[in-house]
């Protein structure tokens, strides 16, 4: 039985607590939250503390707080030489206070409070300073997920930047599509099956194989007609830059 | 029983033939293909012609050929005053020869030869010159799809441009994410669940509600660290432009 303490009460902390609760091999013996009531629906009230001094002994402490609070929280922990990890994709291992043995437990997914997630399908990216700690982290990760990876800090940075492209920027393109529809009195609903299929295709095809459309075909007439149709300068600009980028990328293949 | 003739043998033509074959209310009485063998796996050989003069009488002729061939094909049809539609998102109704009654039957989806599609979930965007023809088209469309819309040419243009954003451009962002991963020795596989979830979120949240990440949070430190990480000028440029666009869009909300 691995004894775990969760520090934090946000989306990641809550989803981890739920995922751990499903296994008999993991015991969330305590949780830290500034507002106790943020976690009372998931953890017995007497196991929640808002005082670092009350933290008890555990095999693993998981700091799941906002990026800019990680360093501060780790320095406030009133113990030494225990295994302390954070869950962020963009904060380095060095941010954690050296008085403890450090590591990373980064679930690469977008979490929302409402939707339940199937943790078995969420990639967990792990990094540790030493081999013994890594084994503990890996065993724990494999209990809740089928997709466990050893990822060093440089690789994690690449993943985090890539995630911005395939999640944040992709969603912004949904915003732009939505805006164009709204401005032209067309229900955005019509595009949803296409959005789904665009993501589905990538599960079996490489992005290069899946690329279609006027840019990669170099269909100058359609491109010109689209640019003519777009009145918003920002939409026009992004259309041109991405079209150019698709064409340059195609040439390199 | 609606008698239909398909003209063309590409992805859209083939998927339509398959969808129509499932209904007893629709009879594909003939198909036109320059190479007969392109359709013999779907249509009896004696029903396939490569000569426009052999086209028999039907309730509806569907021209599913490449965009730049639509006008030419419609002008070669050796009959008048019949209902002729094309399936393109970007070609205007006017491209069809005026000697026939014209319309649009535009399935808004990305089709690949390999994958079977569930036509009931594919939006069909219809337009017709007259009401009687529209009713026939609508009845036919509703037999194979649950998502039938009346969309005029201006709206169809908006949809087609939006589709470029949410499909072609989104896939290009997958390409960019893939490239960043490959360059940094990280399996792109790790991002696939995130790609799926990004699309799934849009089924229940608006794109504005679903927007997350350093740009919308105005997390300057993470943005600077990402720009520092990206060495490719094109990647850097697109990162900056989309970040700026997300932030400007956020301000307008």
C-beta separation of A171 from B198 below 8 A: yes
Which one of B123, B155, B171 has the shortest CB-CB distance to A211? B171
3-state secondary structure (DSSP) of residue A49: strand
Judgement on whether residues A77 and A183 belong to the same structural domain of the protein: no
Residues belonging to chain B: 253
Smallest CA-to-CA distance from A56 within A38, A82, A75, A34 is with: A82
Residues A166 and A133 both lie in one domain: no
Question: Residues of B with CB below 8 A from A169's CB?
Answer: 173, 238-239, 242, 246
Summarize the confidence of residues B52-64 as an average pLDDT: 98
Tell me: pLDDT of B173 over 60: yes
Instruction: Report the chain B residue with the minimal C-alpha distance to residue A125.
Output: B190
A94/A169 same-domain check: no
Per-residue pLDDT, A41: 95
Chain B contact probe: residue of A175, A230, A251 with most B CBs at under 10 A: A175
Interface with A, mutate which of B170, B178, B212, B246 (most A CBs under 10 A): B170
Q: Are residues A126 and A10 in the same domain?
A: yes
Question: Are residues B175 and B136 located together in one domain of the fold?
Answer: no
Q: How many domains does chain A have?
A: 2
> Could you tell me if A145 and A161 lie in one domain?
no
Beta-carbon separation of A177 and B165 below 8 A: yes
A241/B contact by beta carbon, under 8 A = yes
B22 in contact with A, Cβ within 8 Å:
no
CB distance B186–A238 less than 8 Å? no
Asked if A229 and A208 sit in the same domain, the reply is: yes
Q: What is the mean pLDDT of residues B201-208?
A: 94
Per-residue pLDDT tens, chain A, 253 aa: give them. 999 999 999 999 999 999 999 999 999 999 999 999 999 999 999 999 999 999 999 999 999 999 989 999 999 999 999 999 999 998 999 999 999 999 999 999 987 776 678 899 999 999 999 999 999 999 999 999 999 999 999 999 999 999 999 999 999 999 999 999 999 999 999 999 999 999 999 999 999 999 999 999 999 989 999 999 999 999 999 999 999 999 999 875 4
Last residue of a domain, one of B112, B134, B151: B151
Give the pair of three-digit tokens for residue A49: 């503390």
DSSP codes of every residue in B90-105: SS-GGGS-TTSEEEEE
Residue A164: give the domain boundaries: 156-252
Arithmetic mean of pLDDT, B137-153 = 97
Contact B157 A193 (CB under 8 A): no
The reply to whether B244 and B170 lie within a common domain is: yes
What per-residue confidence (pLDDT) applies to B252?
A: 54
| Site of tokens 């981890």 | A16
Looking at residue A117, what is its pLDDT? 81
ipTM value of the model?
Answer: 0.92
A21 close to B (CB below 8 A):
no
Q: Is A244 helix (H, G, I), strand (E, B) or coil?
A: helix
What value does the mean pLDDT take over residues B4-27? 96
- Do A142 and A162 lie in a common domain? no
pTM of the predicted protein model = 0.91
Q: Does A124 touch chain B (CB under 8 A)?
A: no
Q: Which residue of B has its CA nearest to A213?
A: B168
Cβ neighbours of B220 (radius 10 Å): 9
User: Where a domain ends, among A133, A151, A169?
Assistant: A151
Do residues B115 and B209 both lie within one domain?
Answer: no
Domain boundary among A118, A151, A184: A151
| B124 vs B105: CA distance, rounded Å | 7
CATH number at A222 reads 1.10.1040.20
Q: Identify the pLDDT of residue A110.
A: 84
Confirm or reject contact between B219 and chain A (CB < 8 A). Answer: yes
Find the helix packing angle between A170-183 and B233-252, rounded to 10°.
Answer: 50
Residues B167 and B110 in one domain: no
Question: What's the confidence (pLDDT) of residue B250?
Answer: 80
Q: Decide which of B171 and B251 is more confident.
A: B171
The pLDDT of residue A161: 97
Q: Is B154 on the interface with A (CB under 8 A)?
A: yes
The minimum CA-CA distance between A191 and chain B, rounded to whole Å, is 7
Mean pLDDT of the region B237-245: 98
| Chain B closest-CA separation from residue A252 CA (Å) | 12
Instruction: Check whether residue B52 and residue B147 sit in a common domain.
Output: yes
CATH number, domain of A26, equals 3.40.50.720
Q: How far is CA B74 from the centre of its chain?
A: 21
């Amino acid at each position: 039985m691995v004894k775990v303490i969760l520090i934090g009460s946000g989306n990641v902390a809550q989803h981890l607590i739920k995922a751990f609760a499903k296994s008999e091999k993991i015991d969330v013996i305590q949780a830290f939250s500034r507002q106790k009531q943020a976690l009372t629906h998931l953890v017995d009230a007497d196991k929640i503390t808002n005082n670092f001094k009350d933290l008890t002994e555990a095999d693993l402490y998981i700091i799941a707080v906002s990026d800019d609070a990680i360093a501060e929280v780790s320095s406030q922990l009133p113990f030494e030489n225990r295994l302390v990890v954070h869950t962020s994709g963009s904060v380095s291992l060095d941010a954690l206070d050296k008085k403890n043995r450090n590591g990373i437990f980064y679930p690469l997914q977008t979490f929302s409070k409402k939707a339940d997630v199937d943790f078995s399908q969420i990639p967990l990216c792990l990094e540790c300073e030493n081999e013994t700690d890594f084994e503990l982290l890996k065993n724990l990760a494999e209990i809740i997920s089928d997709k466990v990876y050893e990822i060093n800090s440089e690789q994690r940075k690449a993943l985090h930047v890539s995630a911005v492209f395939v999640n944040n920027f992709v969603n912004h393109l949904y915003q732009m599509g939505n805006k164009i529809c709204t401005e032209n009195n067309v229900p955005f609903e019509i595009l949803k099956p296409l959005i789904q299929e665009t993501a589905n295709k990538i599960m079996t095809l490489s992005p290069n194989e899946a690329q279609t459309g006027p840019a990669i075909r170099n269909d100058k007439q359609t491109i010109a007609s689209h640019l003519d149709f777009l009145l918003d300068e920002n939409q026009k600009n992004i259309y041109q830059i991405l079209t150019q980028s698709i064409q340059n990328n195609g040439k390199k293949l």
